[in-house]
Structure 1
Amino acid sequence: MSAQVDDTLWNEFHRVVNMTSRELQDWLRTDAAGPDAEVEPEHAGTPSGQEVLDILRKRRADLTEHDADRMQRVVDRVLAERRDDLEPTAGQQYWRRRMMRMGHDPLKPV
């Protein structure tokens, strides 16, 4: 059930998702932590954040159609909220946290 992910999508996804799988995993755990949090660390974060993390952990040949769709949605969403050049940009804390849940740190150089 693997999908063919073309070079354009593969490269664009890895350009806009500028956090490593380790950075994203750590962020999702930190973001989900709180006094009332009961989430297991492996399942911390938003469902879309977990999907991005799963994609980052896969080899290109192992990606599914669902993964390819998620990759395109992440690319579209990040680019809709950012310029195409993805220059480091400070913004409101809530906005940065939301972007980081998708694996994009607006303050990190590309």
Structure 2
Amino acid sequence: MADALEMDALWEDFHRVVNMTSAELASWLRVRDADEEVEPLPDQAGSPTGQHVLAILQKRRTDLTDDDVRVMHSVVDTVGDLVDMENEPEPERTPEDTRRRHRLMTLGHDPLKP
């Protein structure tokens, strides 16, 4: 696992890019996975990464595993790459904008949230 300074920086970066609360993310994952016939169980909704982000949000820093750290790095990098593509948050205009927003929200980042 990383040293204390690296963990502090990662913890801060993760919580900066993951701007949704655990309740907001859990709700989004349930909505995202629901269809006309089936709604998943709350603890099974969403992608494995989305579920892992949700689990990390519910942990204390001292309880993180190596796998949590790996996911945190991945989320920080992915959100950073996707958000760098936009200069200013603007209202959604195209289906592609909506897809990108939904992908980000699955990782706990809502680009329309201040």
Flag the structure with more relative contact order, 1 or 2, with Cα contacts below 8 A and sequence separation at least 6: 1
Give the whole-Å Cα distance in 2 for the aligned partners of 1:55 and 1:10: 10
Matched to 1:43, the amino acid is: Q
Aligned partner of 2:113 in structure 1 is: 108
Aligned partner of 2:98 in structure 1 is: 93
Aligned partner of 1:68 in structure 2 is: 69
Write out the 4+ residue segments of structure 1 that deviate beyond 6 Å after TM superposition. none
Give the whole-Å Cα distance in 2 for the aligned partners of 1:87 and 1:32: 29
Q: Tell me the CA shift for residue 88 of structure 1.
A: 3.4
Select the structure that is richer in helix: 2
Q: Tell me the CA shift for residue 94 of structure 1.
A: 1.0
| Count of residues in Structure 1 that have an aligned counterpart in Structure 2 | 108
Give the whole-Å Cα distance in 2 for the aligned partners of 1:26 and 1:7: 28
Distance 1:17 1:58, change over 3 A: same
Unaligned runs of 5+ in 1: none
- Percent of aligned positions that are identical: 50
Q: SS of the residue aligned with 2:84? A: coil
Aligned partner of 2:17 in structure 1 is: 16
- Tell me the TM-score normalised to structure 2 length: 0.84
- Tell me the TM-score normalised to structure 1 length: 0.86
Computing the radius of gyration from Cα coordinates, the structure with the larger value is 2
